[in-house]
């Protein structure tokens, strides 16, 4: 049963579920293995989609990565009609919360984004949950949008499984790219707009601090707003 334990922003009209639960211990973060396969990407901005639990933290981390020009919270899969926060966060649709990242591969490559994702954003040993949030709409997945990203994603997941870095089996997989629906406006740039929100302080600010600690070469102190 979900419990809302942190003050909600009445003006935003947040539902009493999804990104609002509590738990005993914070997530662990560590530096994931260096990718063996480097993404070979042409010049120009690229997009990638990451599902890693509550989209506030996923968006928040990537918004602090150099070379990322936008990180949009949204819903991947499912139907346009049901791409609604109250429905999705209550597990009533076939969507997962996800973030569409636009980035400049001359500054940060896809393989580097994947490494950051598994270092400080998502726990690849959890199925249908991340951090305090439960349900298939919080399942973590790599969602490559082209053949090069699929190659890199498959290679890195195999590398992770061989690495012995994780004490439990790797269950995160690759999901085929489907329609991405941007979330409601109050979810965009949520960490920047609500830096004192209880969920952000408890679960997502530690992810940004871990990004700065493990990847100072990729860390941007300023939040890149959409």
Active site residue 19: no
Region for residue 208 given its phi and psi (left: phi exceeds 0; alpha: psi -120 to 50; beta: otherwise) = alpha
Alpha-helix residue ranges (DSSP H) falling in 27-119: 55-62, 85-89, 110-116
Q: Which of 54, 71, 141, 160 is catalytic?
A: 54
Round to whole Å and give the CA distance between 116 and 207: 10
Gap between the Cα atoms of 66 and 220, Å rounded: 5
| Closest CA relative to residue 49, chosen from 158, 171, 140 | 140
CA distance 126 to 133: 11
Question: Any idea what DSSP says for residue 11?
Answer: G
Phi then psi for 33, rounded to 5 degrees?
-60, 145
Q: How many angstroms separate the CA atoms of 132 and 21, rounded?
A: 6
* Separation of alpha carbons 34 and 215, rounded Å: 12
**Residues labelled catalytic:** 54
């Amino acid at each position: 049963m979900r419990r809302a334990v942190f003050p909600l922003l009445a003006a935003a009209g947040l539902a009493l579920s999804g990104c609002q639960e509590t738990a005993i211990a914070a997530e662990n973060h560590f530096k994931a293995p260096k990718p063996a396969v480097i993404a070979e990407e042409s010049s120009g901005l690229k997009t990638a989609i990451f599902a890693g639990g509550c989209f506030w933290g996923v968006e928040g981390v990537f918004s602090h990565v150099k070379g990322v020009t936008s990180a949009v919270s949204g819903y991947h899969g499912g139907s346009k009609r049901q791409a609604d926060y109250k429905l999705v966060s209550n597990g009533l649709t076939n969507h997962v919360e996800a973030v569409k990242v636009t980035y400049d591969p001359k500054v940060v490559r896809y393989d580097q984004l994947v490494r950051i994702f598994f270092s400080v954003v998502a726990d690849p040993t959890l199925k249908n949950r991340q951090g305090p949030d439960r349900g298939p709409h919080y399942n973590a997945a790599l969602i490559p949008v082209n053949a090069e990203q699929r190659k890199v994603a498959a290679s890195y997941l195999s590398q992770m499984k061989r690495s012995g870095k994780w004490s439990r089996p790797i269950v995160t997989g690759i999901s085929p790219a489907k329609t991405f629906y941007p979330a409601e406006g109050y979810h965009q740039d949520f960490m920047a707009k609500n830096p004192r929100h209880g969920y952000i302080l408890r679960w997502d600010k530690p992810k940004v601090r871990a990004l700065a600690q493990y990847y100072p070469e990729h860390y941007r102190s300023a939040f890149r707003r959409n």
